[in-house]
Structure 1
């Protein structure tokens, strides 16, 4: 990417940050609604809004105070205006680069007018205060060559010269950025209009007149800006309608998910959120009193304060989520580098971690907590997130272990890298549990962290056991028919433990919902957990168990090949191409390993060689004769 393209990308990100600050400030103010604690006081002068509502609710409806209705009316108006402000800020955030530039030029024009007005008002106030009612004006003093009088004005001349330079610069910038008509004569008038109040304060004019001059000087540029706004109303309405039709067509053709993903990339949302949170953190750091020197205690106190204030609104939590996503993404990349893998599916670890952290913040009510409790809850959420991150790392290393053991990979350093990561996934949770249980009393949060940690240990042990079995099988010279059973039992144990922990976490969450901190978000997440992690897993596990049991029963009903038959055949299994020391005989007189045929029956009931039906069952449950005279008869059910 070339340097100009990078600069344009940086500018595009910076231009989308101010709407987030506007939304953040609205959330900080509670969207105009009165706060229950430490916030706005009630209109009747009672201690707070809660007490006022209780006192009013005890009265009949017809006895409610008029001031009470007035208060709620204005609160409702503030809430509606705040919501409209959020919608307008979001719309500005989603604009294209061209329209976003127009909006900022319009806002910049208004800002220049108000800065010019504030500078003129301040200058005239200082001049009138220095001259007083009985002194000559600055122009009269200069014409009388009274330089001593000019020097006695306490730096007013320097203030005037500074205001002249500022107003001239503001006039030049306004003439470049304003969106009004650009007539040559109007462009030349802008410096005179902006400088008029400062020039008039030199004349012997009444002070009451001078105090109103900045207002008249701001009328002309404000009228031009207002004219542009009114004349552009129809164009704005047309652009909104065209955008609605455009996105409606895109959603119809490509789907809502594809459109949202495209807009997410176009707006570069993660980078904008990260920039917003970093700038917000810098602003709050500058507002705090910086510690003198490098005292560790002061730095830790400052970091704690910044973390507390960095998640006090929903938009701030979004920004922190983006930072966490960025960090988790590089943690995943680090483990991929250690394991020498480059799977695209594993790179979603940052997105999944961000979603998990934001859900934790919502269901624990992070933004509504007191500062000290918020810091404790934030640390606990980080601990839960990192234990979940261990599960994501296991999802990266587990396929690699299976691949290394199944492919007989002779690369020793790749095995060592994978085993090192597995060792970390066992040692770190054990150390974490030892520290937490020795320093914290038992609580629902500690039980949840412990369940996640023990679960990841069990999953890693299961992966290592299966990895060891596959390595042993790789160095065996004969076919290991019991391998599939051992792998099934180990995985069944791991899945059972994981299922039990899922049930435990459900009841732990139910306890939190009922007795500690309820909420619709927590209840919804519990419903999702109960459906996907309990019900669906139980149903899938039961289906796998029944499928395996059915296949085992079918295989056991087939006759076993004798040693003489295997010696006469002197062939390999047509499924695994391994030598047959034991085999099952199908009704079509074909020989296969029992375990191989059982895996085949998971897919279909036809013979792998001749595609004949392996099992038949008549209405009266006939017993067919075996393909060999020396074999016992078998019952073959019809699976068609």
Structure 2
């Protein structure tokens, strides 16, 4: 991307930041609604009741309540309309966004010019009355009396300053206003802006000079109003065209495609990051200025320890104010996503992998943090509790990152061990990441349990940390088994059983932790902090991490049990038969020291044939039925055989021994 393209992209991002600040300001006042425990107090809170008059006082309080309700409703309605207008401006195309900003800047220029003229005229009149000069400003100007004109306490310097300011404002307004650009109108615009300064030079009546700012603002205001009324049709047309585009896009591609397209067009993550950084920088500057003022007043010499404490207090204040509204939480979420993305990229660099699916760590972290913020009611807490809750949410996020890193390193461990990869440094890198995934959770648990008393939050963090430790140990054990198998010269038929038992143990532990977390969340929902979002998340957890896990594990267990019973119904090949055959298994192409004989007289490894039975019940070579269905066969051989035996192309989407508990977790 060229430098010009980067600059244009940055400008477009900056253009979309101001609407977020407008929405943020409306959310700071809770959309005009009274907040329990907040700064807003009921209108009747200062009324003292001396006596009770059923007729008069009842009507009085009813009228006050009605007026308060109407006032609150109108304020809420105005705030909602302001938020909706800001969001509509936010989603505009760049060319329309520039037009909106030009119009708003022209309006702001008119009001700045008016208030500057008002302030200057008031000061000029006050100085004129106070000093009562024998000569006017015009006479000083004609006589080139520079001493009086440049006197800092005289009215002359104010006229010159106001003239320069109004000239700059008129030049700015002439170039940005969207009204008709007739030559005569452009000339009168400049005269209109500087008219009060010119009148201040002349000996005009005080009333005329006092009202001159109003008359000077009439022409630019007429142009601004003309632009507003003449553009009404265009505004309606743009809104309707946007609605039509969205409706057609949704009908053709779906709502998710529209959201994704608009998300990319608006560059929402980058806009949110810039908004949050600017917002935090603003608060940081204000806090630093306040601290410097206090230190200057007290005349204190700040020591190093006090400076560190001041920086810690500053960081705490910035974190608290950085998540006080929904828009601020969204901005913080985007910043966290940015850092988590580079954390994932760092571990990918360590592991020498570049899988696209592993790069979603930033998105997953953002979604998780935002759900935690909504679930814990982060924005509604007071500053001290908000900081504590924010730190706890960060702990939960860190443990989730550990799980994600395990999902990155686990397939790499399996690949390195199963593919007989001789690259030592790749093994060392993967094992180093596994060591980190064990040491860091243990260190975190030791610190948390030593510094905090037992609570539902601490139990949840402990469960997640122990779970990731168990998953890493399971991965290392399977990795070790595969390495041992790689250096064996003969086929290890029990390897599949060992891998199954280890994974079954690990998935059982995870399943138990899932049940524990469900009951822990139920306790929080019922006795600590309930809420609709927490209840929904508990339902999702119960379905995906408990019900689906249990169903998938039971399905794998029944398939394995059925396959074992079917294999046991087949004849075992003797050593003489294997010597006479002198062939390899047609499934794994490994030498056969033991084998099972099918009814079609084909030889296979028992473990290979068992895995094949997970797919279908027919011989891999001739597609005949693999086993006899006799009355003497164990009745359990038919349990779980729900697949159609004639379906020869049925394939599982995952390895059968990975189905137990891996699922959606």
TM-score (norm 1): 0.93
The answer on whether the counterparts of 2:460 and 2:517 sit within 8 Å (CA) in structure 1 is: yes
**Is 321-330 or 110-119 further displaced after alignment?**
110-119
Q: Which residue of 2 aligns with 1:177?
A: 176
Structure 1 counterpart of 2:155: 156
Alignment of 1:349-368 (within 5 A): 349-368=361-380
Instruction: From 447, 454, 466, give the equivalent of 2:466.
Output: 454
Task: Give the Cα separation in 2 of the matches to 1:82 and 1:151.
Answer: 48
Cα 1:301–1:409 change in 2 (3 A) is same
In the other structure, the counterpart of 1:266 is: 265
Shift of 1:99: 0.5
Equivalence for 1:518 = 530
1:409 and 2:408 correspond: no
Residue matched to 1:14: 14
**Secondary structure, in 3 states, of the residue corresponding to 2:454?**
coil
Shift of 1:34: 1.4
- Tell whether 2:395 aligns with 1:398: no
2:356 to 316, 320, 344: 344
In structure 1, how many angstroms separate the alpha carbons of the residues matched to 2:256 and 2:47?
49
Query: Deviation at 1:330?
Result: 0.2
Q: Give, in whole Å, the separation in 2 of the partners of 1:555 and 1:64.
A: 86
**What does residue range 582-597 of structure 1 map to in structure 2 within 5 Å?**
582-597=594-609
Residue by residue over 1:173-209, the C-alpha shift from the partner in whole angstroms, topping out at 9 and shown as x without a partner, is 1111110001011111211111011111222223333
Contact 2:618 2:645 in 1 (8 A): no
Aligned equivalent of 1:168: 167
Aligned-pair CA distance for 1:3: 1.0
CA distance in 1: counterparts of 2:311 and 2:60, whole angstroms: 56
Distance 1:135 1:89 in 2: 52
In structure 1, the residue matched to 2:92 is 95
Q: Distance in 2 between matches of 1:635 and 1:452?
A: 39
Q: TM-score, normalised by structure 2?
A: 0.90
User: How many aligned residue pairs are there?
Assistant: 621
Greater mean alpha carbon deviation, residues 356-365 or residues 208-217: 208-217
How far did 1:558 drift? 1.1
Q: Structure 1: any 5+ residue segments left out of the alignment? A: 49-54, 625-631
Asked whether the 8 Å contact 1:605–1:639 carries over to 2, the reply is: yes
Structure 2 distance, partners of 1:594, 1:557, is 11
SS at match of 1:507: helix
In structure 1, what is the equivalent of residue 623 of structure 2? 611
Deviations 1:441-495 (A, max 9, x none): 0001100100000000000000000000000000011111110011011111111
- Report the CA distance between 1:4 and its aligned residue: 0.9
Alpha carbons 1:484, 1:595 under 8 Å: kept: yes
How far apart, CA to CA, are the structure 2 residues paired with 1:472 and 1:188? 91
Distance 1:351 1:318 in 2: 13
1:186 to 2:185 alignment: yes
- In the alignment, the residues of structure 2 paired with residue 236 and residue 585 of structure 1 have an alpha-carbon distance, to the nearest angstrom, of 80
Q: Aligned-pair distance for 1:219?
A: 1.7
How far is 1:172 from its partner? Answer: 1.0
CA distance in 1, matches of 2:63, 2:119: 41
Which residue among 574, 581, 585 is the counterpart of 2:586? 574
> Using the alignment, how far apart are the partners of 1:485 and 1:63 within structure 2?
83
User: Matches of 1:221 and 1:24 in 2, distance apart?
Assistant: 31
Q: Does 1:245 align with 2:244?
A: yes
Aligned to 1:226: 225
Shift of 1:169: 1.2
Structure 2, unaligned stretches of length 5 or more? 293-301, 647-665
Q: 1:442 aligns with which of 431, 446, 454?
A: 454
Correspondences of 1:362-511 after superposition (within 5 Å): 362-511=374-523
Structure 1 stretch 82-91 or stretch 418-427: which is displaced more? 82-91
Q: d(CA) in 2 for partners of 1:148 and 1:278?
A: 49
- Report the Cα distance in structure 2 between the residues aligned to 1:359 and 1:171, rounded to whole angstroms: 50
Distance, in Å, in 1 between the alignment partners of 2:433 and 2:443 is 15
CA contact (8 A) 2:128 2:155 kept: no
- Give a deviation string over 1:188-233, Cα, whole Å, max 9, x none: 1211111011111222223333222112211211111111111111
Aligned to 2:44, what secondary structure does the other structure show?
coil
Offset at residue 143 of structure 1 (A): 5.5
Structure 2 partner of 1:41: 41
**Which deviates more, 502-511 or 283-292?**
283-292
Indicate the RMSD between aligned Cα atoms, in angstroms. Answer: 2.4
Once residues 147 and 477 of structure 2 are traced to their aligned partners in structure 1, the CA distance between those partners, rounded to angstroms, is: 97
Shift of 1:411: 0.1
Give the SS at the match of 2:78.
helix
Q: Is the 8 A contact 1:584 1:592 kept in 2?
A: yes
| Structure 2 equivalent of residue 558 of structure 1 | 570
